[in-house]
Amino acid sequence: MRLVPRSRRARVAVGVAAAGLVVAGVYVARVVTSPAYGVAAAPRGDAPECARIEKGYPDDLAGRERAPGGAAGVAVWGDRAVVSRCGMTPPAPTPELCVNVDGVDWVLREARSRDGRKVVITYGRDPAVEVSVSDRVTELDAVLVDLSKAVKPIRQRHKCLDSRGR
């Protein structure tokens, strides 16, 4: 019984198939090891607004490179040092701290800020953008400045009335 292909065409086909398997394996390994892998999309992460602002996300944020891949509406920098999820339900009026950064209102979600992470969400924009920032990132203000530029294309319908979000 002969296992080696007889024709040149058959040998080329086997070589192409083997090369395809190697490329696919490398791609899968890169996606699975990306920090963006496994970050859940927001409920409306596939909204057209999220697709538009994703193009405006910076390649570098707080000295960390944007990770490849990820679910719709998700962007990750560094080893999940900063995670942005577009497509969240906008928060209702709240007594939580609300700050305006370059024309974008952000609400600090104190109840969700734990385990070494601060969580903020845009206020008055639909869909909302939620950002989770590791305590390892000391430049939270700079992160919000850069992300405010990216989320501005989502129309603001409501504004925080004062510094306490009311």
**Confidence (pLDDT) at 83:** 96
Q: How many helices (H) and strands (E) does the chain have?
A: 3, 8
For residue 151, the number of C-alpha atoms closer than 13 Å in the C-beta half-sphere is: 33
**Confidence (pLDDT) at 57:** 94
Give the integer Cα–Cα distance in Å for 89 and 128. 6
Distances (CA, A) of 117 to 10, 37, 53: 56, 19, 23
Spatial CA neighbour of 83 closest among 144, 130, 14: 130
Higher-confidence position of 127 and 35? 127
Q: Cβ(104)–Cβ(152) under 8 Å? A: yes
Chain segment 52-84, per-residue pLDDT in tens: 999 899 999 999 999 998 899 999 999 999 999
Question: How many C-beta atoms lie closer than 10 Å to residue 158's C-beta?
Answer: 14
Residue 10 pLDDT greater than 80, yes or no: no
Distances (CA, A) of 94 to 7, 98, 108: 73, 9, 10
**Confidence (pLDDT) at 30:** 40
pTM to 2 decimal places: 0.76
Among the residues of 78-121, which ranges form H helices? none
Residue 16 pLDDT greater than 70, yes or no: no
Residue 23 pLDDT greater than 60, yes or no: no
Chain segment 84-111, per-residue pLDDT in tens: 999 999 999 999 999 999 999 999 999 8
Chain segment 114-137, per-residue pLDDT in tens: 889 999 999 999 999 999 999 999
